[in-house]
């Protein structure tokens, strides 16, 4: 058993029954965890004496409109620099109330990543120190990366739809 596999097993053991499902696409262990108590879940990985997943590589969201009750997935990429081991955590949220605890007490890096995720998908990070839009204008009234919204600028009138196959 390689080192990476051992670490993956340790991670699953640490997560215990928090790990709702797991698989390893392209060698990266991906675990679905419940949204409640996400901070404690991650803290147990960060403070584990062997794992030490102390580096938040990335935080983003994905929208699955066809999956009722689990429309928004918040995805965390954690990295253990001492072990060079990566782990992906996913928590699913209903679109009616997409709320999850903020990761800022553990990682300062989460601050803007969560603001970006809020800006794009409207995920409410409970306890975030400053949850405002970050990239878009403040008065924007929708969450542009959700699948139902159009990519194009709506104010353009010089495009003839017939020529674009729409």
Partner 1 sequence: MVKMADKPDGYEGQGFFATSLDKVIGMARANSLWPLPFATSCCGIEFMATMGATYDLARFGSERLSFSPRQADLLMVMGTIAKKMGPVLKQVYDQMAEPKWVLSVGACASSGGIFDTYSVLQGIDRIIPVDVYVPGCPPRPEQIIEGVMKIQELAKNESLRRRHSEEYKKMLESYNLT
Partner 2 sequence: MTTPDTQKQGQAPLVAHDSIDGEIAILNLGPTHPATHGVFQNVLKVDGERILEAEPTIGYIHRAFEKLAERRPYNQITPITDRLNYCSSPINNMGWHMTVEKLAGIELPKRVEYMRVIIMELSRIADHLICNSVIGVDTGALTGFTYMFQERELIYEMFEEVCGARLTTNIGRVGGFERDFSDAFKYKLDEFLKGFSARFEEFDGLLTRNRIFMDRVIKAGPISAERALNYGFTGPNLRAAGVDYDVRVMNPYSSYEDFEFDIPIGQDGDTFDRFVVRQQEIRESLKIIRQALDNMPAGKHFTDVPDFYLPPKDEVYRSMEALIYHFKIVMGETPIPAGEVYHAVEGGNGELGYYLISDGGRTPYRLHFRRPCFIYYQAYPEMIKGSMLSDAVLTMSSMNVIAGELDA
164 binds partner 2 (CB under 8 A): no
145 binds partner 2 (CB under 8 A): yes
* Residues pairing with 31 in the sheet: 22, 89
Q: How would you label 65-85 residue by residue, b for 16+ Cβ within 10 Å and e otherwise?
A: eeeeeebbbbebbbebeebeb
148 binds partner 1 (CB under 8 A): no
| Contact string 43-82 vs partner 2 (x = CB under 8 A) | -----------xxxxx-x-xx-----------x-x---x-
Query: Could you give the CA distance from residue 8 to residue 85 in angstroms, rounded to a whole number?
Result: 8
CB of 155 to partner 1, least distance (A): 7
Candidates 66, 64, 86, 61; CA nearest to 7 is 86
Residues that bind partner 2 (CB under 8 A): 25-26, 28, 30, 54-58, 60, 62-63, 75, 77, 81, 84, 86, 88, 107-109, 111-113, 116, 120, 133-137, 144-145, 151
């Amino acid at each position: 058993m390689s080192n990476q596999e051992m670490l993956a097993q340790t991670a699953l053991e640490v997560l215990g029954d928090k790990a709702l499902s797991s698989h390893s696409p392209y060698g990266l262990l991906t675990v679905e965890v419940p949204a409640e108590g996400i901070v404690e879940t991650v803290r147990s990985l960060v403070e584990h004496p062997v794992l030490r997943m102390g580096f938040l590589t990335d935080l983003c969201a994905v929208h699955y409109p066809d999956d009722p009750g689990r429309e928004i997935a918040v995805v965390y990429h954690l990295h253990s620099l001492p072990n060079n081991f990566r782990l992906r955590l996913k928590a699913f949220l209903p679109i009616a109330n997409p709320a999850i605890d903020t990761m800022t007490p553990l990682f300062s890096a989460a601050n803007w990543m969560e603001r970006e995720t809020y800006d794009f998908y409207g995920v409410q990070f409970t306890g975030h120190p400053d949850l405002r839009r970050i990239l878009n204008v403040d008065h924007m009234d929708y969450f542009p990366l959700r699948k139902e919204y159009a990519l194009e600028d709506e104010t353009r009138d010089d495009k003839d739809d017939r020529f674009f196959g729409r």
